Amino acid sequence: MKRDFNHLVLKPIAHIETEFPEKFGIPRQAGIVKETIGKIIFEKEFSKPGILKGLEGFSHLILIWGFSMEEENKWSPTIRPPKLGGNQRVGVFASRSPNRPNPLGFSVVKIVSIESLDGIFKISVLGADMVSGTPIYDIKPYLAYSDSFPDALQGYAKSPDCICLKVDIPESLKLKIPTNVLFSIEKILSQDPRPGYKRNGDFYFECLSYHIGFTVDKDNILHVFEMKKIISSSCKK
């Protein structure tokens, strides 16, 4: 009997733990900040012997996941992409907006390790761009020969190198942060984590276990004025 796709119910096979407790501050796309850490933790039902057999031969994964923090059934035929300054509209299917008819996202991440602990499979990855706790509905091995198109046109979604803000962090704050973490935070800040509706005044958010406050001046220079370490179980490495 064929599946009834008109009444298909997706069941999470796993969830991912990351250092992003909220959606603000998450890299715009997976892989932009290659150092971000994530851990995929499989549901017991899908931690079956042999289910990951052969995966150790691949370096990267494609993750199919759900936008779990968006309001249910809230979507529009057109959206305002942050890359267009929030002032121009494009079709929802010409975007990667979370507000879509089927709220699914995908990411390509690098495999660091595969392990089993107390009968539960876990995959540690780099390049994650998801809120901690995001449900994972499927994983597939990434195949460079078929999944990579370096010459593909990208429309309005220019390379991230073309839209970077200059980031100014006082030396007094830099000295308190490990170099590798600081490098990742600077990358995230350069992509401007503010939502389109919050372009003026001070902005605060949490990522990589730090509470960060900044403002952006008229010359598009981002000035960090606060950066405090968070002790929280929601920001696991």
The domain defined by 5-147 carries CATH number 2.40.30.70: yes
Residue-range domain boundaries for the chain = 5-147, 160-229
* Chain segment 158-180, per-residue pLDDT in tens: 665 555 789 999 999 999 899 98
What three-state secondary structure class fits 162? helix
Q: What is the pLDDT of residues 98-127, one digit of tens each?
A: 888 999 999 999 999 999 999 999 999 999
Q: What share of the chain is helix, strand, coil (3-state, %, to 5)?
A: 15, 30, 50
Q: Residue 55: pLDDT above 90?
A: yes
Alpha helices, DSSP H only, in 108-214?
144-147, 171-174, 179-190
pLDDT of the residue at 35: 83
pLDDT > 90: percent of the chain: 53
Tell me which residue of 133, 134, 58, 142 sits closest to 108, measured CA to CA. Answer: 142
- The yes-or-no verdict on residue 70 having pLDDT over 70 is no
- Give residue-wise pLDDT tens across range 177-196: 999 889 989 988 988 888 76
CATH 3.30.2310.20 fits domain 160-229: yes
Q: What pLDDT score does 63 carry? A: 97
DSSP 176: T
Residue that the structure tokens 């003026």 belong to: 200
- How many CA within 13 A on the CB side of residue 83? 17
| Cα–Cα distance for residue pair 110/59, rounded to 1 Å | 6
Q: Are 171 and 100 in contact (CB under 8 A)?
A: no
CA distance 25 to 34: 14
